[in-house]
Amino acid sequence: MVIFGATGDLAKRKLFPALFSLYMNKLLPPAFRIIGVGRRPRTHEQFREAVRKSVDEFSRIKVADEASWQQFIKNFTYTVADVTNPSDYEGIKSLIEGFETEHGVEPCRLFYLAIAPDLFATVSHNLKAIGLGDTRGVKRLIIEKPIGNDFLSAKEIDEQIKQTFTEKEIYRIDHYLGKEMVQNINVIRFANNIFEPLWNHHHIACVQITASETVGVEERAAYYDRAGALRDMVQNHMLQMLMMVCMEPPSRLKTEAIHDEKIKVLRSLRRYSEEEVGAYVVRGQYQAGILNGKAVPAYRDEKNVDSASETETFVAAKLYVDNLRWAGVPFYIRTGKRMGAKATEIVIQFKEMPKNLYFNKNNDLGPNLLVITINPDEGIHMVLNAKKPGSDNQIMPIAMEFCNNCEQGTPEAYESLIHDAIVGDQTFFTHWEEVALAWEFIDPIRRAWDRNLHKLDFYESGTWGPASAHALLAEEGHHWWSVTKERQHRVVRATEVITT
Ligand SMILES: NC(=O)C1=CN([C@@H]2O[C@H](COP(=O)(O)OP(=O)(O)OC[C@H]3O[C@@H](n4cnc5c(N)ncnc54)[C@H](OP(=O)(O)O)[C@@H]3O)[C@@H](O)[C@H]2O)C=CC1
Ligand SMILES: O=C1O[C@H](COP(=O)(O)O)[C@@H](O)[C@H](O)[C@H]1O
């Protein structure tokens, strides 16, 4: 595996720890080599020390003994190369071929582009020019999101990389698809007969998908201030979770069948014109506030952010999937930085009972909820109504709960995805058509905001987004649910969370 961008943030925080965990779980091939590439000069030793630091700091599996560490790290080498310079690929080529000859193995080459998307085409082109693009054995290209910054730029990148790699050789990472509970959505839906008959507009009132973060822009302003939350999170992760919830059962558990069903969801996703965007999509930017007892600055005061930046750090939207299954069901999505808690979760809110036999002055009969918690807690819980102990007809919500990661740690998303790329399973990678359709949905929203047709709202750090994000649901008589760990036996309204 050649990692372009081996001196960068992604390699440090995600790729090296994932590789180490795979190694410790005996999920790497018996003979492998990791070739790190970057422009910064590094000796092999310095590179290996950087990998060790990253594993110590970020890996879920820690180094337990020096002997196994040495066995692992001896497979890492580094070479300096500027990917825009074709002659710099000579060094990479000789390291690859040297390894293959030494071990007498057929080529099985994975090129991981942990670099900016505007370099994807250059690398693919240069790999082909040096003869690394047409191997006898296996070659695969692993690329990160976001691919391009709109449909046209993504298409251009795609056409260029396809001069070297076929669709079947391109592994587009959306790390949310590597998360255990995102992969579990299909199983929960298609392996439980109690859910599938209810999974439609007859029984579901609305679906809410939240991916909230407490972190701010951190060190990534150069990228983020240009991208914003719409491109950074909605175009990929949020729409991927939506597809997993909405897709029809695939004819079989094969990559193509699953991709086909996901693509159909995006084809049914209602598109908004630039003029309509204001009625369905809210954008926000964080202001200063208090998070975990600590004062945090406004987005505009963050390092390397333009002091008049209009970049959105929060998006909420009301989406519709216009097909027979989902006609009329609102899908509310929200994602943002510097929010009240780190939580990724999906709430399926079922319709109310047709008649309330338990009507009392408290009006305490709430809807049933199925909550899929993705991060940091992994699990599912169902919120049901039960009799309040000792009362006559008072009702209280109770939760039936399964925790996926309480007893033992589960693999990190990058572990699953790197492993899938090694064994050639594209199921949890994004097909080009998903990328294209997602951009076609996103582009008018972005254009409407660039034209300032709809205003940017502000929210205090540590809260749940601007008031307009709550109004979006109130119009339909809904409100955001918050069912996080601290409140697992109590269902509270998001509005209460703000005030508590
Ligand atoms: N960081 C994250 O959490 C996430 C990142 N991504 C995506 O991953 C990719 C990498 O992101 P990230 O690691 O954060 O970025 P960084 O800016 O931290 O790292 C960029 C890397 O690219 C290398 N690089 C840049 N230009 C060249 C060049 N001309 N020749 C060779 N190497 C070059 C740099 O190496 P050097 O300086 O040594 O040349 C560095 O290793 C991006 O596409 C990003 O969108 C996606 C999801 C999350
Ligand atoms: O891709 C991205 O995801 C992270 C959030 O990922 P998570 O696994 O911690 O939920 C986000 O912080 C980042 O901006 C974005 O590029």
Give pLDDT tens digits for 232-268. Answer: 999 999 999 999 999 999 999 999 999 999 999 999 9
Q: Which of 35, 115, 175 should be mutated for ligand 1, with most atoms under 8 A from CB?
A: 115
pLDDT at residue 494 is higher than 60: no
- At 360, the amino acid letter reads N
Strand boundaries in 256-350, DSSP class E? 281-291, 294-296, 314-319, 331-336, 343-350
The stretch 422-441 carries a mean pLDDT of: 98
In the annotated binding site for substrate, the residues are 175, 179, 213, 232, 337, 342
pLDDT at residue 407 is higher than 70: yes
* pLDDT tens column, 113-167: 999 999 999 999 999 999 998 778 899 999 999 999 999 999 999 999 999 999 9
104 compared with 497, residue with greater pLDDT: 104
Evaluate: CB of 154 within 6 angstroms of ligand 1.
no
* pLDDT tens column, 166-184: 999 999 999 999 999 999 9
User: What are the distances in angstroms from CA 341 to CA 207, 338, 485?
Assistant: 20, 8, 11
Band of residue 484 on the pLDDT scale cut at 50, 70, 90: low
Q: How far is the CA of 474 from the centre of ligand 1 (A)?
A: 41
d(CA 272, CA 260): 23
Tokens of 430: 């994004």
Q: How far is the CA of 63 from the centre of ligand 2 (A)?
A: 26
User: What are the distances in angstroms from CA 449 to CA 224, 268, 273, 439?
Assistant: 16, 23, 12, 15
Strand-pairing partners, residue 314, are 284, 336
Asked whether the bond before 376 is cis by omega within 30 degrees of 0, the reply is yes
Evaluate: CB of 235 within 6 angstroms of ligand 1.
no
35 compared with 401, residue with greater pLDDT: 35
d(CA 416, CA 66): 25
* pLDDT tens column, 60-111: 999 999 999 999 999 999 999 999 999 999 999 999 999 999 999 999 999 9
* pLDDT tens column, 337-386: 999 999 999 999 999 988 888 877 677 788 999 999 999 999 999 999 99
pLDDT at residue 462 is higher than 50: yes
- At 428, the amino acid letter reads F
Q: Is 197 exposed, middle or buried (0-12, 13-18, 19+ CB in 10 A)?
A: exposed
* Residue closest by Cα to atom 17 of ligand 1: 8
- Count of alpha carbons within 13 angstroms of residue 92, beta-carbon side: 31
pLDDT at residue 487 is higher than 70: no
Average pLDDT, the chain: 93
In the annotated binding site, the residues are 5-12, 39, 82-83, 145, 175, 179, 213, 232, 337, 342
The reported pLDDT for the residue numbered 483 is 57
Neighbours of 129 (CB within 10 A): 12
Evaluate: CB of 117 within 6 angstroms of ligand 1.
yes
Give helix 432-450 / helix 151-161 axis angle, nearest 10°: 150
Active site residues per annotation: 237
The stretch 32-37 carries a mean pLDDT of: 98
d(CA 6, CA 434): 28
At residue 4, φ and ψ (nearest 5 deg) are -80, 125
pLDDT at residue 313 is higher than 70: yes
SS3 469: helix
Enter the pTM of the model.
Answer: 0.95
The stretch 193-205 carries a mean pLDDT of: 96
Band of residue 306 on the pLDDT scale cut at 50, 70, 90: very high
Band of residue 499 on the pLDDT scale cut at 50, 70, 90: very low
For residue 138, give every residue at least 6 positions away whose Cβ sits within 8 Å of its Cβ, in sequence order, or none: 106, 107, 108, 109, 424
Strand-pairing partners, residue 375, are 344
User: What are the distances in angstroms from CA 321 to CA 289, 347, 447?
Assistant: 36, 17, 22
Evaluate: CB of 86 within 6 angstroms of ligand 1.
no
The reported pLDDT for the residue numbered 498 is 40
Q: Which atom, in ligand 2's list, is nearest to the CA of 236? A: 1
**Angle at 357 (CA atoms; ends 199, 363), nearest 5 degrees:** 85
CB 176 within 8 A of CB 267: no
d(CA 306, CA 148): 22
CB 237 within 8 A of CB 449: no
Evaluate: CB of 232 within 6 angstroms of ligand 2.
yes
Helix (H) or strand (E) holding 237: none
398 compared with 302, residue with greater pLDDT: 302
